[in-house]
Structure 1
Amino acid sequence: MLENSGISRRAAATFIILLILCSLAVYLLVERKYQFEYIKMERIILNQSNRLTNVLTRLLYKTQALSALVVQHNGKVENFEKVAATLLDDPAILNVLAAPGGVVRAVYPVEGNEAVLGLNFFEKGAGNQEAVEARDTGRLVLGGPFTLVQGGEALVGRLPVYADDGKGEKLFWGLVSVTLKFPQALNGAELDKLSELGLAYEIWRVSPETNEKQVIAHSAYEYNDDAPYIEVPLTIFNAHWFFRVSPIKLWYQYPESWLYISLGVLVSFLLAMLAQHNLDLRRVRSQLENMAYHDPLTGILNRRGPFERLPVLIGEGGYFSLYYLDLNNFKTFNDTYGHTVGDRILQVFTERVRKRMDFPHLFARIGGDEFILIAYGQENEEKADKLFNGIRVALQDLVVEGAGDVRISFSMGKAVYPRDGNNIDELIAHADGDMYTEKRTRSGKIGATA
């Protein structure tokens, strides 16, 4: 009886130990699956956010051509149809229009958009709140989605135009606008491909009219509250959207989950594999995190770097200088020599800046041809100013393969904390404003020389 009792105790102990180890193994494997899903979602949502931002930015920046048309003709809308016809190069564009004084006087194409003529953007109506915001801020504003007067849903880009009053002053002339069909405007981001990756998505915002959540776009799959998800803010001009992705399947809907359970009895093998897999997981996560924070073209930080570091610097209350850089006429280089040469120009510019920096700093590329440099400490502000003066001279003799001697210049704005702002938005706005002031000044000098 003692022997039988010993065997029973041993069997019971073995069963309990195996049950605990198997349960632990299954739990760890499920967590591992979720971690891989999270890493995958993090990478995908960043790529999709950038793609969506680039698609809408490219379409809305067509307003600049209309603005240039008005400015070049001293506030007169001439050759509107000819210029507008060249801008309708994407099926997502519904129309382009000009609204001197905020009242629509020209629209292309006219057919199907007759109801827009005579519309006053500064009166109460859908999308007009963004028109007022564009006028008051002096910047390109994204509005919508909302219902158009001619029917259908749309996104719009409103750009204020300032004309010369003949006395050297800039006066508000009116608005130019691009209207994008919705949801066709999002097609270029290829959001439907997320389902092929096993992910559901939702894009939403807080409606400026109702102050409630407004779903802008979503996949055909509904979210499950038990599924992990990632949600990131998506800022496009003035618009603040939120982008969320989550797996379509739960852990028990994956066949491999049941395979893990059935193989759970092989405790020793699983533990050895888990150790290796966890090591691989940390390595993959480290690599993906590095990819998420660095610009693949130039090798410097991307926009996440400065925008995550700035709150820390502000919280510490230290002194720092923020420089906002934008290459002049970069689009002309791309159009003239091609994107390969344009990419090389960005790389060479970045190399020139990095080689000359001998003080604590943060340097990042935040857009196509836009950069931010943060110089830490009051003593390094003067060094940074001298750095950029030297770079301006060095760039004059720049030789880029494929383009020969090219004249690269940049416009720069500067903001000092806490002198020029107490938060990120104020600092960026100050530096951005200085940069555009310099850009306009340079453009004026070039025009005067010509």
Structure 2
Amino acid sequence: MSGGVARVALATYRLAGIMAYPLVGPYLAYRAVKGKEDASRRLERLGYASLARPRGPLVWAHAASVGETLAIMPMIRELRRRDIHVLLTTGTVTSAALVQARLGEEVIHQYVPLDIKFPIKRFIGYWQPDACITAESEIWPATVAELARRGIPQIRVNARISDRSFQRWSRRKAIAEALFDKLALVVAQSDLDAERFRDLGAWPVIVSGNLKTDTDPPPCDAELLVRYSNEIGSRQTWAAISTFEGEEKVAATVHRTLKPKNGQLTIIVPRHPDRADAIEAMLKEEGLSVARRSRNDPVTAETDVLLGDTIGEMGLYLRLTEVAFVGRSLTNEGGQNPLEPAMLGCAVLSGPNIQNFRDAYQHLARRGAARVVRDVEMLAKAVHYLLINDLARRKMVEAGHEAMEDMRGALGKTIKALEPYVNPLTVSARLQPKAAAAVGG
């Protein structure tokens, strides 16, 4: 595909966004009714600010969802330590709640505007960021073009490209190069990710490792942990976390297979808690007794499954077990983050479809902290083995801690890479009058 064709394709994309713009309002209203948008803040998605822009240097940081938000929190705190204002955008209601809970007034939070010319111009024109730092893999053409037009550096941190995304971009190489060469810097998670970004036209590209290895373990309500630990008592437990459709049925099959041998409690934490009603109905059809966290149900001796259908409590669920199967890997593809269970002392099990977290799994597997299972039968055998073999389980747990220590250091490398962009903003920020008034409104 020639450069001319790429320009036509990107112009067509922009035109399609402009033509769709009149329909955006009703679309957002519909999503709000479904609970997928914050009804009181829908205008933010159209680029209208709901807060004032402070005076002084400001970095726009974007994280699409919860995982990316958690990954860049330490970086954000480093920017704030340097007195640089941070405008953090996210795309989901869940991630917005997380930002409020973990960062509060440290950052200015807005929902990310839709990748359409008018919202993007309105958003960037109002906030006037000195730099834009985005996490992981998203590329939005209208946003990239508007930032480039205004000469605002675009930096990608914790950057990765999945197999599927790389194949898709590779089939549209000229379009990829027209977008990726506008990135001022890419800080990639792995050598493979770095190679892919370079192949698609990004430069310069460096490797830092995964920022998620430098995050704190997910927090936990101490009183809830004591309560559930007491209710569970001496029963063995295992967890199936970040599960997608089909994997809860797998967990139910494993539970029924092992119950006569172990009498264990199974903890199921779906990636999307809004599926909890359907999951509970399926589990009951399987003849299992279910306690739902969202209802505050007690765990009794008769409870088969604790259904973790809440947001932001992964730290609780993982502290209730030492064996965790990580989903989106057996009946779905891509995998989910295995670092949190390893960090919190769990032996990690996974299906084979872990393309999006290949590097993390390779590190864990080399240390003996993670095992891959092919099917439900192999998963049941692995869970049973780890439940009855304390030595094997403890070896995997300790290996997980060692692997996490090996992988740390991505934050320092990332901050060092950002210094040419951040240091001038730090100087400017510290020259600002401390009581400067906000601008905008």
Same-fold call, TM cutoff 0.5: no
After TM superposition, the score normalised by the length of structure 1 is 0.24
Q: TM-score, normalised by structure 2?
A: 0.24
When you count strand as a share of all residues, which structure comes out higher? 1
Structure scoring higher RCO (CA < 8 A, sep ≥ 6) equals 2
